[in-house]
């Protein structure tokens, strides 16, 4: 019986595989093998014993089913694996797990999982950045209404809106790279982190193991790798998921019937929007992203609580992290893939963008008029008050702003009819938006090290 939606509805195979039972065993076996090799290199155990242990520390020899069978009796997951390894190694089995404690294996294996997961997330970000860059460039001059407080503000371009998303994703990519050396960290320091179980060669053992596995190490561990590292990982993935929710929410709003400026792709031949309202085309992917993002960031609180353990450790973090870490990674990967799908196939309705601008009757050009009057010599505050009063009066009378301004003697004194037409043309008031799109794409290309456009 399947209960968790990750098992039957959400998530992609590659990321799920990273946090699978099979991969957990595989990575823990890699750690045990690296430990044996380190001991052999330092002369603690025979080299042929390390060779045997390394050869046998694979899922082909140490079967998950056998580990589980032993655990059913011992009630200890790591010791069950150690026993299963020893069974395969003959005389060399007595050297397995020498000097280590369970979390030397568990936390170091988790760091290997994080390493793979972060590589997948970075690849997802790169894919989304490339998709958004193509969309931003295509619409760098596509003028649309900018909105603040849900109200018409001033014109912008759709490409510039997307460029803001790209810039944010580039920061997330930078964050991922920054946290990698802090998150991909193991330990091989024994029961409470002092290294006592490894004797005088402790520092060499830990350094050799982590170098072998391509990881950093906790310099002053307790029995665990310190959980601020895990909390930072969850926080950064939560940030990424929440950014995607921001973009998805914009798509959802712009797809509203009364706005209709963008829309998710919809297969009219097969796709169903509603079980009863047959006409519906809903932004279902974007809504899905919004819901999953809320789940991702909800895991930050319990992961932060996992930082607070009794003395050198207790077990209250373990059960929680078995839920937190796979769910956060799998769902963030799923969210990024869906976000890329949304933007790769997004329908942009330029006609409706123009319609919505025209429906504003020129009121969104008030700032442009104000600044034009100020540039002609009218005081800035005077110009503001003039345009404000003209706007209020025009709205009350059901007129457009341009009509009201053309009837104003002060405006006529400073601006000719032709100048007012130019000042109130939305296409002339998008500032440097197209150029900022180009700069953002250039930065993305430099960061990713490839040509995008």
| Catalytic residue list contains 274 | yes
3-state SS assignment for residue 150: coil
Count Cα neighbours of 392 within 13 Å in the Cβ-side half-sphere: 5
Q: Which residues contact 435 (CB under 8 A, 6 or more apart)?
A: none
User: How far is Cα 233 from Cα 327, in angstroms, rounded to an integer?
Assistant: 13
3-state SS assignment for residue 262: strand
Alpha-carbon distances, residue 439 vs 158, 247, 343, 435, 443 (angstroms): 15, 20, 20, 6, 6
Could you say which of 119, 274, 316, 375 is catalytic?
Answer: 274
CA dihedral for 277, 281, 283, 288, sign (positive or negative)? positive
Instruction: Pick left, alpha or beta for residue 310 (phi over 0 → left; psi -120 to 50 → alpha; otherwise beta).
Output: beta
In 3D space, the residue among 336, 343, 443, 338 whose CA is nearest the CA of residue 122 turns out to be 336
DSSP alpha helices (H): ranges in 184-266?
202-213, 228-254
CA dihedral for 329, 330, 333, 338, sign (positive or negative)? negative
User: How far is Cα 443 from Cα 39, in angstroms, rounded to an integer?
Assistant: 47
Q: Which residues contact 183 (CB under 8 A, 6 or more apart)?
A: 111, 114, 118, 229, 230, 232, 233
The residue behind tokens 């020129």 is 362
The residue behind tokens 């936390």 is 107
The residue behind tokens 């209709």 is 260
| Catalytic residue list contains 149 | yes
In 3D space, the residue among 417, 414, 423 whose CA is nearest the CA of residue 383 turns out to be 414
User: How far is Cα 388 from Cα 399, in angstroms, rounded to an integer?
Assistant: 14
Strands 185-186 and 216-217: parallel
Could you say which of 54, 119, 139, 149 is catalytic?
Answer: 149
The residue behind tokens 């796979």 is 326
Q: Using an 8 Å Cβ cutoff, are 170 and 129 in contact? A: yes
What residues act catalytically?
149, 274
């Amino acid at each position: 019986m399947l209960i968790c939606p990750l098992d039957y509805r959400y998530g992609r195979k590659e990321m799920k595989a990273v946090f699978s039972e099979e991969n957990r065993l595989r990575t823990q076996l890699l750690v045990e093998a690296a430990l044996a090799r380190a001991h052999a290199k330092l002369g603690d155990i025979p080299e042929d014993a390390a060779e045997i242990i390394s050869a046998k520390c694979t899922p082909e020899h140490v079967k998950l089913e056998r580990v589980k069978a032993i655990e059913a009796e011992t009630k200890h997951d790591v010791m069950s694996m150690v026993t299963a390894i020893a069974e395969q190694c003959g005389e060399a089995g007595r050297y397995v797990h020498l000097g280590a404690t369970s979390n030397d294996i568990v936390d170091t294996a988790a760091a290997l999982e994080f390493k793979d997961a972060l590589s997948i997330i970075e690849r997802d970000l790169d894919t989304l950045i490339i998709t958004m860059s193509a969309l931003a460039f295509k619409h760098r001059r596509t003028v649309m209404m900018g909105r603040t407080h849900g109200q018409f503000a001033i014109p912008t371009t759709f490409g510039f809106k997307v460029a803001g998303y790209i810039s944010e994703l580039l920061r997330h990519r930078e964050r991922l790279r920054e946290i990698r050396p802090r998150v991909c960290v193991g330990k091989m320091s024994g029961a409470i982190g002092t290294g006592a179980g490894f004797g005088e060669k402790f520092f060499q053992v830990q350094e050799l193991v982590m170098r072998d596995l391509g990881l950093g190490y906790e310099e002053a561990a307790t029995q665990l790798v310190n959980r601020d590292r895990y909390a930072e990982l969850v926080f950064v993935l939560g940030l990424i998921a929440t950014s995607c929710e921001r973009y998805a929410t914009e798509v959802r709003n712009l797809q509203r019937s009364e706005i209709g400026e963008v829309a998710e792709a919809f297969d009219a031949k097969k796709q169903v929007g509603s079980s009863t309202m047959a006409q519906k085309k809903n932004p279902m992917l974007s809504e899905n992203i919004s819901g999953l993002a809320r789940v991702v960031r909800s895991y930050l609180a319990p992961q932060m609580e996992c930082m607070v353990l009794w003395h050198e450790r207790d077990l209250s973090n373990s059960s929680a992290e078995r839920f937190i870490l796979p769910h956060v990674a799998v769902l963030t990967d799923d969210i990024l893939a869906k976000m890329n799908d949304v933007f790769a196939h997004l329908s942009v309705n330029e006609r409706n963008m123009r319609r919505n601008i025209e429906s504003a009757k020129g009121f969104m050009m008030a700032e442009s008029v104000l600044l034009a009057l100020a540039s002609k010599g009218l005081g800035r505050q005077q110009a503001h008050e003039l345009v404000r009063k003209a706007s209020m009066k025009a709205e009350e009378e059901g007129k457009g702003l341009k009509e009201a301004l053309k009837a104003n003697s002060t405006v006529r004194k400073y601006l000719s009819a032709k100048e007012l037409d130019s000042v109130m043309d939305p296409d002339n008031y998008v500032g440097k938006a197209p150029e900022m799109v180009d700069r953002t794409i250039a930065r993305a290309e430099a960061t990713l090290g490839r040509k995008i456009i």
